[in-house]
Structure 1
Amino acid sequence: MEIKSKIGNRIKELREVKQMSQKDLAYASDLDRSYIASVENGQRNISIVNIEKIAVALGVSLKEFFGNDKFDNDSTSS
């Protein structure tokens, strides 16, 4: 799985745990809902700045965001 999909899946996973809609997350992170959707679908290259905005909106640190076995170096391609 490529890194864009891994990040998108992680955002969706954390968002669903917090019981937030894409619209809620977009508002809380000051990003557009369609941008959130395209990131979650692995269609966008997301900047680290926007990852931080999303992590803050989800109430997790960057360490918690990336501290997941899904980010192991097994097959990270672009």
Structure 2
Amino acid sequence: MKIIDKKAAMAIQRQHTDSRIFRYCTGKYQWHGSTSHYTGQDVAEISGVLAVYAERRRDNHGPYTRLMCITTN
């Protein structure tokens, strides 16, 4: 499965009314300037996951990336 952009992920969520947004990983990943750096990268296949997208977050240590997923579970 590949990481897609957030707009495409939200379109998938609207198509599946029983889906929800879920944190894919609990880890934080270094921020590389834009979400396009992450788009297209491969992630592991997980049953029930429809889409994965990268989201920029910020805490006291600075910006980081969190992978989010649209899931049917």
- TM-score, scaled to structure 2: 0.31
Decide which structure has the larger Cα Rg and report it: 2
Higher strand residue share: 2
Q: Larger % of helix: which?
A: 1
